[in-house]
Amino acid sequence: MYRAMPEERFPIPAVDLTRLDPAFHRAVVDYSTSEAPGTVIVDTPNCYLYHVGEGGTATRYGVGIGRAGFEWSGRAHIAYGREWPVWTPPADMIARQPPLEKWRYGQPPGINNALGARALYIHQGNRDTLYRLHGTGEAHTIGKAISSGCVRLLHQDIVHLYDKVKWGSPIVVLA
C-alpha cells in the first residue's frame, strides 16, 4: 500500500512507516452517513478523510489539516484534479513566508513540489476556494494540524483517491 512507485513521472519513494501512526493507514471501514456514495468527507477533528462507498463503507485516509487560523469547513465540490501540478502560493502566503517569493509564478512539478503527486481542487459554486486535497512525502505531518489550510495525504494515498474521485463529487469538510 505504501510501496515505492517508480512508475510515476517523478518516482515516489516508499513511506517510512516508522513516521506514520498505524491509525492513519488507509483502510476500508464501516461508515454510516447520509451522504451519497462518491462523496468526500473530511473529519478535521480526527484527521481523517472518508471517500464514501456503497453499503455503509468508506475508504478512510489519514490526513494533515490546516493549523489554527487556517481551517476551512463547509460543503463544496471537487471541480477537477491535476497530476503533478504546478503550485503557486497565494500572495498572502508569500507575505507571511517571504522565502516563497521564488515560487510567485509557480513551483514546477516534482516530488518536492508543495502539492505533491496529485491535487484535487475544491470549489464552491464556480469559485475556487484555494483549498486543495494534495500529496505530501512528509509522513510525520499526517494526523496533525500543520498546513496552511489544505488537506494533505501521503503521495500513495492521494494517487489512490485521485483515481477514485469523479470531478463534480461533493466534499464536506467538518469543523
Residues 136, 116: Cα–Cα separation, whole Å: 5
Contact yes or no for 50/63 (Cβ under 8 A): no
Is residue 102 a part of any domain in this protein? Answer: yes
Residues 93, 125: Cα–Cα separation, whole Å: 24
How confident is the model at residue 17, as a pLDDT? Answer: 95
Q: Which residues are catalytic?
A: 134, 150
How confident is the model at residue 66, as a pLDDT? Answer: 84
The CA–CA distances, whole Å, from 81 to 38, 95, 115, 173 equal 15, 27, 11, 18
* Structural domain boundaries enclosing 164: 17-174
Is residue 60 a part of any domain in this protein? Answer: yes
Q: What b/e sequence results for 81-103 when a residue is b if at least 16 CB atoms lie within 10 Å of its CB, and e otherwise? A: bbebbebbbeeebbeeeeebeeb
How confident is the model at residue 40, as a pLDDT? Answer: 99
- What phi and psi values does residue 159 have, to the nearest 5 degrees? -65, -45
Is residue 10 a part of any domain in this protein? Answer: no
How confident is the model at residue 158, as a pLDDT? Answer: 99
Is residue 4 a part of any domain in this protein? Answer: no
Mind listing the pLDDT tens digit of every residue in the chain (175 residues)?
Answer: 999 999 999 999 999 999 999 999 999 999 999 999 999 999 999 999 999 999 999 999 999 998 777 778 999 999 999 999 999 998 988 999 999 999 999 999 999 999 999 999 999 999 999 999 999 999 999 999 988 789 999 999 999 999 999 999 999 999 8
CB count in 10 Å sphere of residue 169 = 18
Is residue 12 a part of any domain in this protein? Answer: no
Residues 129, 114: Cα–Cα separation, whole Å: 17
Residue 153 is part of a domain; what is its CATH number?
Answer: 2.40.440.10
What burial class does residue 120 get, using C-beta atoms within 10 Å of its C-beta: 0-12 exposed, 13-18 middle, 19+ buried?
Answer: buried
Is residue 103 a part of any domain in this protein? Answer: yes
- Tally of domains in the chain: 1
Residue 125 backbone zone (phi > 0: left; psi -120 to 50: alpha; other: beta) = left
Tens digits of per-residue pLDDT, 150-160?
999 999 999 99
Contact yes or no for 109/86 (Cβ under 8 A): yes
Is residue 62 a part of any domain in this protein? Answer: yes
What is the reported pTM?
0.95
How confident is the model at residue 126, as a pLDDT? Answer: 94
Is residue 111 a part of any domain in this protein? Answer: yes
Tens digits of per-residue pLDDT, 54-63?
999 999 999 9
